[in-house]
Amino acid sequence: MGIKQIAKLANVSIGTVDRVIHKRPGVSKETEKKILKIIEETGYTKNTTASRLKLASIKKIKFAVLLPETKKEWNYWKLPIQGINNAVSELKEMGVAVDFLHFKDSKTYSKEIDAIFLKEYNAIITVPFFKTESNILLQKAAKKQTSVVFLDTEIDLENNAHFIRQNSRQAGKVAGRLLYGLVGTDGEYLIINKQNDKGTLVNNTQREEGFKEFLKTVHYKKEILSKSYYLKNDFKLSSELITWLKTKTPKGIFVTNSKSHILVKALKKEGITNIQIIGFDLNEDNISCLKNEEINFLINQQPILQGYMAIKNLFNHIAKQETLKTNYNIPIDIILKENLLTS
């Protein structure tokens, strides 16, 4: 059932059917109505593959990807890029193309956004690390009919936006149950946060809230020490914290970010042992701690999947008129030593 049969049934040419399907002007009300009725009755749907075959050479679907720089400690951001490249190579025959851009602060972010709008892109994939700038981006995008998908983090914005990310509050609850299972009500818990010079702390805060909320549901009464800690590579525990660790002997630590491996090293140096640790992200250092049983669990945000789904969802939106969900949930993937390699 193709455009040709529809045309025959309606006694028109395929050009006219095409105009109706794409809501292009230049068709009489009457003809349009007739064609729409036949499309309805026959259940015709456009063959996107055939459509893209033609368009691939004359009208590419263009994505702008604006992510943090991927140098050194920020090489986490290579992962969504990897997922994006996977999706693009699957869809390259359909005529999709990507430009990668990077920022290092709100200023360069704004600059790159401006640059993006000087060219013609069908969609933009980025992160909502700067609230004001994200709102501006959405405003501009709305005017130009450009779709925007935010990865990694969900924040409140003025315009309706699309997020592909893990529910961080929920991930915090998962961490809560996992750590509580190991520690129970006997020991104290410590939450370690990180302050980030690059952008938002939203995910970290949401994880902390979820963690605390879980402990509430199991009626954990003791106070949870929650430290907001700025972790650099030359990380040192404050003397206050060391004292607390040595006197209170906490049994479980929840690191709300990707730096749990640094904590492991610091604890080792201080000779503090017998602590259960849960962190985030499968970076090399964390993985090695997991293998050495210095970290119990890692929660994987699946950044590769986030990037992959961004392209797939946007392509389906643009080429197949599928609706973009406001929130696309990335599963909360729990990793321990034994399911690391097969994942």
Partner DNA sequence: CTGAAAGCGCTTACAG
Considering the complex, state which of residue 124 and residue 332 has its C-beta at the smaller distance from a copy of itself.
332
Question: Do 44 and 10 form a contact (C-beta atoms < 8 A)?
Answer: no
Considering the complex, state which of residue 4 and residue 325 has its C-beta at the smaller distance from DNA.
4
* Rounded Cα–Cα distance for residues 144 and 138 (Å): 10
Q: Is residue 104 part of the contact set for a copy of itself (CB under 8 A)? A: no
For residue 91, the minimal CB distance to a copy of itself (Å) is 9
**Residue 250 CB partners (closer than 8 Å, separation 6+):** 187, 188, 189, 190, 225, 244, 275
**Residue 88 CB partners (closer than 8 Å, separation 6+):** 63, 96, 97, 98, 311
For residue 343, the minimal CB distance to a copy of itself (Å) is 4
Residue 53 CA neighbour count, 13 Å, CB half = 5
Considering the complex, state which of residue 92 and residue 107 has its C-beta at the smaller distance from a copy of itself.
92
Judged by beta carbon distances under 5 to 8 A according to partner kind, the member of a copy of itself, DNA, none in contact with residue 18 is DNA
Judged by beta carbon distances under 5 to 8 A according to partner kind, the member of a copy of itself, DNA, none in contact with residue 334 is a copy of itself
- DSSP structure class, residue 305: H
Q: Which residues in this chain contact DNA in the complex, by CB under 7 A?
A: 2-4, 11-16, 18-19, 21-22, 25-32, 46-47, 50-51, 53-59
Q: Is residue 86 part of the contact set for a copy of itself (CB under 8 A)? A: no
For residue 164, the minimal CB distance to a copy of itself (Å) is 13
For residue 102, the minimal CB distance to a copy of itself (Å) is 28
* Rounded Cα–Cα distance for residues 161 and 140 (Å): 13
Nearest-Å Rg of the Cα atoms of the chain is 25
SS3 string, 50-76, reads: HHHHHHHHHCCEEEEEEEECCCHHHHH
- Residue numbers at the binding site for a copy of itself (CB under 8 A): 47-50, 52-53, 93-94, 166-167, 170-171, 173-174, 176-178, 181-182, 214, 296, 329, 331-334, 336-339, 342-343
